[in-house]
Amino acid sequence: MLNSTIIEIDGIFLGAAILLDGPGARRFYAAHDSVRSLHNEILPDLTALTHFVARQFHGSRAGRAAP
């Protein structure tokens, strides 16, 4: 592991983006149940990974908010 970046959305720690060898690809290490299905997903850069995780997180919160 070369480097990692915490992914936090709305003040909630969701996991870490781990820099892989190569041109900047990142692997997601999920730490929150709402994004557990994304564990070990690899995306080409930190921005793409952060947006991907945020969509999953916000989608799971919207699903729980319905009465």
- Residue spans of the domains in the chain: they are 3-65
Q: What are phi and psi for residue 15, nearest 5 degrees? A: 165, -160
Supply the pLDDT for residue 34.
Answer: 96
Supply the pLDDT for residue 32.
Answer: 97
Neighbours of 31 (CB within 10 A): 15
Q: What is the pLDDT along the chain (67 residues), one digit of tens a residue?
A: 569 999 999 999 999 999 998 778 999 999 999 999 999 999 999 999 999 999 999 998 776 654 5
How far apart (Å, rounded) are the C-alpha atoms in residues 29 and 10? Answer: 18
